[in-house]
Structure 1
Amino acid sequence: MQKRTLGVALFAVVLCLASAGALVAQDYVVEKNVMVPMRDGIRLATDVYRPAVEGQSVAEKLPVILSRLPYNKDGQATAAKYFATHGYVFVAQDTRGRYKSEGTWHMLTDDGVDGVDCAAWIGKQPWSNGRIGMIGTSYFGGTQHAMALAGAPELKTVIPVDAMSNLGRQSLRNAGAFELRFWNWIFLNAGRGSNAALDEGTAAELKEMADERFYYLTHLPTRRGMTPLKLAPEYEDWLINAMEHGANDEFWAQNNIVDHPEQYKDIPVYLVSGWYDSWGGNNTANYIALSKTIKGPVYLIMGPWIHGAQSSYAHGQVTFGNEAAIADQWAWRQEWYDHWLKGIDNSVGKAAPFATPVRIFVMGTGDGSKDEKGCLVHGGYWRDEQEWPLARTKYTSFYLQPGGGLATKAATAPNSVTQFQFDPADPVPTIGGNISSGDDILVQGAWNQKGGPHIWNFQQPVPISSRRDVLVFQTEPLEEDLEVTGEIEVKLYASSSAVDTDFTAKLIDVYPPSTDWPGGFDLNLGDGIVRGRFRESLTKEKLMTPGEVYEFTIKLYPTSNVFKQGHRIRVDISSSNFPRFDVNPNTGEPLNRNRLTKVADQTIYHDPEHPSRIMLPVIPAAK
């Protein structure tokens, strides 16, 4: 009797705390594999984690944290336990056609409608108060955007991290080029958690295909029905269609926030990404679009991170200092959810990381030494801002010069050009950058632009600048520190002997030689590409006339970096970056249907009539 009385008293205390918005249960219960019906009868496997006392779930209706993902809901257990013991119900759901859910997988296109149906089901449950916040990274950051665009009534806030959006603009199709990390994603996930993988024999065939994907990667294009991918037809169908469809049109309509921000539900949104993340450019683009369209409020944080690695401070070959990491990945999210789902007056709108609408990590203020793990100490610091791009930005053009210079004054020599040949059979290798889903074919983040055993297609320890098909344009050593923070574009005047080709650009912070780095360190900051047939429009193809000069716009990923005194600002121009992007065969054949390749003669113009340049968002030094 005493034990029962104590239990009732404890339960009453917990309910009291919950009513005050401060429930901290010491236990939780989980109901696994609840099959939630969608409007078309397909059932999606769902786990429900609830706060509990002495093994009994709390009876009070509570707000819900929802995660909808294609990567197996069982992997959400850690987050679920945290939130279920901090006053929330946590719901994890396998998306359609993945793992234990019924139906056929499609790339995000079902997730708006399915999200609405899932939210409606949650709103009717006795443990729900009808208020939902979503959580998740990458693909299941994209399911948050999908649900917000679909306008689910129960959805009250989202924290999309490194989230899929604007797929035809950048990060999947990139100015017409295809980002091969998604080819890699399909080759790996077609045999993981798919309908095809339910059969052991089929799963073994798909695993063998994934294990041998380096062969397939070097023998692109992947053709319909010609590989074991045909055993997972929905995955083959999406990949082939995606690689054949370059135009940013209705094919890529799902999660197109930039062109349709008015469709986004007016709720508080916290956009999270990194300077080295594959979705960083779309994250800032979404902030620009949404902050002008919805009341939100809309917040943005950009760290020096690679994909999904906000709790780390060293990425690739570089460290940015301990302060670059957000150590507790759940507590800061809880602060946001507590404010918007429970109405708690806390640090949101008052203190970091919620003090101002924009919070950025300014890279590059380290001493450039080598730490105990062999990483370059690039360093940096956090800074709160009121907007993005920054209002005080001074957009400054740095012009390509004859002989490889880069200067704020345009070249004066007439008919000045630099030429190179682009051979699709020998593409420029990728060394770091804005990457996710690399999984062995790509390395992520910040790297010295030098080959080695970490780069499978460039294992020689030589700088990438030694290649004939990489044009290097760089400033003289800087006389004072220069901060570059914002969106970056290259305006390139060029011609080609091909009817279609690519041009690439990469921004590099060049460290001078030092005791720790005798050869210096060429640090990549951001890159971009443009496919010739999409030079005029991302929605319509138009082949080139060989030899004719065109202006190409190459959109790099945004950054925030201090180029220190003595460093050089460098821009590399080429026509390939593989396997970051698919390689243009230079033939003008339909996308992903080429059987031929041609070597292209490329000409870059840098004269008064053709002022090729990179436009850098320079931030004036504080007085």
Structure 2
Amino acid sequence: MRRTSSISLTCLVLASATLGPALTAQSAAVTPDMVQTGSDIPAKWEEPHPGYDYEKREVMIPMRDGVKLHTVVIVPKGAKGLPILLERTPYNASGFSTDRPHMRDAVWSAQRDWADDGYIIVTQDIRGKYGSEGDYVMTRPPIGPLNPTKTDDTTDAWDTIDWLVKNIPESNGRVGMIGSSYDGWTVTMALLGPHPALKVAAPESPMIDGWMGDDWFHYGAFRQVNLDYFTEQSSQRAAGSQVPRPGSDDYQDFLDAVSAGHWAEANGFKQLPWWNRLSAHPAYDAFWQLQALDKLVVQKPASIPTVWLQGLWDQEDMYGAVHTWEALKAAGHASNNHLVMGPWYHSQVNRSAETLGPLKWKGDTAADFRRTILIPFFNTYLKDRKAAESLPAALIYNATENHWDKFADWPGVDEKHLTPMYLQSEFGLALNKPQAGEDSYLSDPAKPVPYLAPPVEADGGKRWQTWLVQDQRPVATRTDVLSYQTPVLDRAVSLEGAPFADLFVKTTGTDADFVVKIIDVYPPNDAEQPEMGGYQLPISLDIFRGRYRKSFPNPEAIPAGAVEEYRFRLPTVNYVFKPGHRIMVQIQSSLFPLYDRNPQTYVDNIFFAKPEDFRSATMTVEHNPQAASSVLLPIVSGK
């Protein structure tokens, strides 16, 4: 036995007995401030921000039907008489800013220049998304046949602006709207019935017509890589997820699924009202026509000074801005509408833009544009600060010569002044009409032409932003791709405007797609940029679904073995083919998995084509005096 342990234990027992009553008496002295009867979480926590140079306010703005929209307002401290920059978005208004001491660091990259210039920045969740109440409807149509309610994004923008100018005492009562892609669509919707305080607008790459050439289709061919967007956007109020993949190659994944409809419904899309509506309307019927905003802004033209803006290589919304500007100009509303096309991919105007894939520019073309052109344009109407130089009718980047070109009257689409460049025998391309000739290729739906070299990452992966400037040599030698080219150019050839494809083709099938690319073929060697030696750079390309050759709303089968004409517009260009280069035209019948496969057998709805509907077909492209296939180029003489 260890005696020391016994003594210690005895001492502890005696001490406890002696101190016990004293501890009990002290514990009994409870004061009111010791007792918390409610939650330890306050009803509203307001974090102090000493040293911050701005104030962030989160408010719920009521709409005319009682629905409240979550809105983030960022105001410079000490502000007085500042304009408001408003962006309405389905992409989480709270995520547009972070908690940092300086306003320019707190806002996202596209807003820093605006913060530097002294703007109140407001971002709002549209109806039904993230913090906003109400029901979400994908690109909610204007009030009318497709929208029987009394609200749309026109009324929501009006109500929002009305609240802002009445409840932000630091503002001067003037608002400018801006936003790209879906956010560009919300700007355009606001223009259909603008609030008096809306003084200037910039729809950037706006979603204008989802069937003709923006996100969902191009001339009837479905852009199936956007199916992930459906779940990300409409499977829940917050951000949804991409569709899980069985493998790492979308080329094989979509091929195994047979059709876009089967792929979608195998992944639960029948739960999504938007998918059900879209897949039920594969043709350009009233569902699409009644929400085409380029038509609606002409019916309700606004006097708001507006910049219609997009990238020359916009891989998502190549159609909307330029077609809307052209429609307004044709209707006599050119004075307050301007077109800007920069050397950018989709929404790159809001990021850094020193390069585009292999193409290199002189400095950051997007930042320079924002600071020297866009913000001064807004300041003219929001701050009474006249810009040093007026914005021309059209400002379009010349990618070859690496500078902006200003146009008092951009031709846009002018079919009377297009120059045919005809397909020739021996795969030549020339200005003279061809002699008798034709070329054929076998289009096999089991082996579609890829838009990116497989394996193709989900949603295009890192290559998605720059796929439109990818080298076309990997597909140029495929037997199902026809490549025609000029001799080496001995002089420059300048294009300004919209090219057209004009093909005369017969097929052994009863439906077909046609992809046409206009390509700048670089010389075999490039001393300044060796990696560009022999590069085949697409400058304009698009796809056309053959069943719509006569009517977009009323498709019909192609008569097998008959020569049919397929004439369609290609994306706008402002480009110079340099001496020593060649002009190439490529023709093919698939661009997969970006676009769904055409079964090449006519079926009512390609979304749900069956395996037995997919058949190989021989496409024969004619180039003879009676059927002279060509590309019609907006060649500018004297340049």
Q: TM-score, normalised by structure 2?
A: 0.78
Q: Does 1:484 align with 2:468?
A: no
Q: Does 1:250 align with 2:293?
A: no
**Distance between the aligned counterparts of 1:114 and 1:439, measured in 2?**
34
Q: Does 1:41 align with 2:66?
A: yes
What is the deviation of 1:86?
4.0
Contact kept in structure 1, 2:269 and 2:275, CA below 8 Å: no
Cα RMSD between the aligned structures? 3.0
Q: Which residue of 2 aligns with 1:114?
A: 156
Contact kept in structure 2, 1:501 and 1:575, CA below 8 Å: yes
Contact kept in structure 2, 1:485 and 1:617, CA below 8 Å: yes
**Distance between the aligned counterparts of 1:129 and 1:265, measured in 2?**
22
Query: For the structure 1 residues 295 and 567, does the alpha-carbon distance in structure 2 shift closer, same or farther, using more than 3 Å as the test?
Result: closer
Contact kept in structure 2, 1:65 and 1:134, CA below 8 Å: yes
Q: 2:445 aligns with which of 415, 424, 439?
A: 424
Alignment of 1:464-479 (within 5 A): 464-479=475-490
Query: For the structure 1 residues 136 and 544, does the alpha-carbon distance in structure 2 shift closer, same or farther, using more than 3 Å as the test?
Result: same
After TM superposition, the structure 1 stretch with the greater mean CA deviation from structure 2, 37-46 or 573-582, is 37-46
Alignment of 1:54-203 (within 5 A): 58=79, 60=80, 62-77=82-97, 78=107, 83=114, 86-109=117-140, 110-127=152-169, 128-172=171-215, 173-190=217-234, 194-195=236-237
Query: For the structure 1 residues 38 and 490, does the alpha-carbon distance in structure 2 shift closer, same or farther, using more than 3 Å as the test?
Result: same
Which protein is bigger by CA-based radius of gyration? Answer: 2
**Distance between the aligned counterparts of 1:326 and 1:210, measured in 2?**
40
Q: Which residue of 1 aligns with 2:609?
A: 594
Cα deviations across residues 468-517 of structure 1 (Å, max 9, x unaligned)? 11011111111111111210101101121222211110010011211625
Query: For the structure 1 residues 147 and 181, does the alpha-carbon distance in structure 2 shift closer, same or farther, using more than 3 Å as the test?
Result: farther
Q: Does 1:364 align with 2:400?
A: yes
Structure 1 residue runs of 5 or longer lacking an equivalent are 1-24, 198-202, 366-379, 451-461
**Distance between the aligned counterparts of 1:401 and 1:347, measured in 2?**
50
Q: 1:405 aligns with which of 420, 428, 441?
A: 428
Structure 2 residue runs of 5 or longer lacking an equivalent are 1-50, 98-106, 141-151
Query: For the structure 1 residues 280 and 44, does the alpha-carbon distance in structure 2 shift closer, same or farther, using more than 3 Å as the test?
Result: same
Three-state SS of the structure 2 residue aligned to 1:586 is coil
Q: Does 1:444 align with 2:482?
A: no
**Distance between the aligned counterparts of 2:88 and 2:360, measured in 1?**
32
Query: For the structure 1 residues 608 and 383, does the alpha-carbon distance in structure 2 shift closer, same or farther, using more than 3 Å as the test?
Result: same
Q: Which residue of 1 aligns with 2:13?
A: none
**Distance between the aligned counterparts of 2:356 and 2:323, measured in 1?**
23
What is the deviation of 1:230?
4.0
What is the deviation of 1:332?
4.2
Q: Does 1:539 align with 2:553?
A: yes
Query: For the structure 1 residues 92 and 296, does the alpha-carbon distance in structure 2 shift closer, same or farther, using more than 3 Å as the test?
Result: farther
Partner AA of 1:465 in structure 2: A
Q: Which residue of 1 aligns with 2:17?
A: none
What is the deviation of 1:343?
2.0
**Distance between the aligned counterparts of 2:423 and 2:506, measured in 1?**
16
**Distance between the aligned counterparts of 1:423 and 1:296, measured in 2?**
50
Cα deviations across residues 46-81 of structure 1 (Å, max 9, x unaligned)? 11112323xxxx4x5543211001111123332567
Q: Does 1:610 align with 2:627?
A: yes
Three-state SS of the structure 2 residue aligned to 1:280 is coil
Q: Which residue of 2 aligns with 1:27?
A: 53
Partner AA of 1:299 in structure 2: H
Q: Which residue of 2 aligns with 1:307?
A: 346
Contact kept in structure 2, 1:223 and 1:240, CA below 8 Å: no
What is the deviation of 1:320?
3.3
**Distance between the aligned counterparts of 1:541 and 1:498, measured in 2?**
15
**Distance between the aligned counterparts of 1:529 and 1:157, measured in 2?**
35
What is the deviation of 1:295?
5.6
What is the deviation of 1:612?
0.7
Q: Does 1:579 align with 2:593?
A: yes
Query: For the structure 1 residues 443 and 390, does the alpha-carbon distance in structure 2 shift closer, same or farther, using more than 3 Å as the test?
Result: closer
Partner AA of 1:340 in structure 2: Y
Q: Which residue of 2 aligns with 1:273?
A: 310
Contact kept in structure 2, 1:306 and 1:445, CA below 8 Å: no
After TM superposition, the structure 1 stretch with the greater mean CA deviation from structure 2, 170-179 or 209-218, is 209-218
**Distance between the aligned counterparts of 2:253 and 2:399, measured in 1?**
37
**Distance between the aligned counterparts of 2:407 and 2:535, measured in 1?**
30
Query: For the structure 1 residues 328 and 567, does the alpha-carbon distance in structure 2 shift closer, same or farther, using more than 3 Å as the test?
Result: closer
Q: 2:274 aligns with which of 213, 238, 254?
A: 238
**Distance between the aligned counterparts of 1:136 and 1:211, measured in 2?**
35
Higher helix proportion (structure 1 or 2): 2
Query: For the structure 1 residues 504 and 207, does the alpha-carbon distance in structure 2 shift closer, same or farther, using more than 3 Å as the test?
Result: closer
Query: For the structure 1 residues 439 and 481, does the alpha-carbon distance in structure 2 shift closer, same or farther, using more than 3 Å as the test?
Result: same
**Distance between the aligned counterparts of 1:255 and 1:295, measured in 2?**
20
After TM superposition, the structure 1 stretch with the greater mean CA deviation from structure 2, 578-587 or 389-398, is 389-398
What is the deviation of 1:244?
4.3
**Distance between the aligned counterparts of 1:150 and 1:210, measured in 2?**
47
Contact kept in structure 1, 2:412 and 2:498, CA below 8 Å: no
Query: For the structure 1 residues 138 and 344, does the alpha-carbon distance in structure 2 shift closer, same or farther, using more than 3 Å as the test?
Result: same
Q: Which residue of 2 aligns with 1:222?
A: 261
What is the deviation of 1:195?
2.4
Contact kept in structure 2, 1:500 and 1:544, CA below 8 Å: yes
**Distance between the aligned counterparts of 1:391 and 1:274, measured in 2?**
17
**Distance between the aligned counterparts of 1:28 and 1:211, measured in 2?**
47
**Distance between the aligned counterparts of 1:494 and 1:398, measured in 2?**
17
**Distance between the aligned counterparts of 2:264 and 2:228, measured in 1?**
17
Q: 1:339 aligns with which of 380, 385, 396?
A: 380
**Distance between the aligned counterparts of 2:625 and 2:203, measured in 1?**
45
**Distance between the aligned counterparts of 1:443 and 1:344, measured in 2?**
36
Q: Which residue of 2 aligns with 1:383?
A: 405
**Distance between the aligned counterparts of 2:278 and 2:428, measured in 1?**
39
> What is the number of equivalent residue pairs in this alignment?
546
Q: TM-score, normalised by structure 1?
A: 0.80
What is the deviation of 1:131?
2.5
Three-state SS of the structure 2 residue aligned to 1:101 is coil
What is the deviation of 1:104?
2.8
Contact kept in structure 2, 1:28 and 1:51, CA below 8 Å: yes
Query: For the structure 1 residues 381 and 332, does the alpha-carbon distance in structure 2 shift closer, same or farther, using more than 3 Å as the test?
Result: closer
Query: For the structure 1 residues 605 and 586, does the alpha-carbon distance in structure 2 shift closer, same or farther, using more than 3 Å as the test?
Result: same
After TM superposition, the structure 1 stretch with the greater mean CA deviation from structure 2, 513-522 or 494-503, is 513-522
Query: For the structure 1 residues 319 and 446, does the alpha-carbon distance in structure 2 shift closer, same or farther, using more than 3 Å as the test?
Result: farther
Q: Which residue of 1 aligns with 2:77?
A: 52
Contact kept in structure 2, 1:472 and 1:572, CA below 8 Å: yes
Contact kept in structure 2, 1:31 and 1:49, CA below 8 Å: yes
**Distance between the aligned counterparts of 1:212 and 1:431, measured in 2?**
14
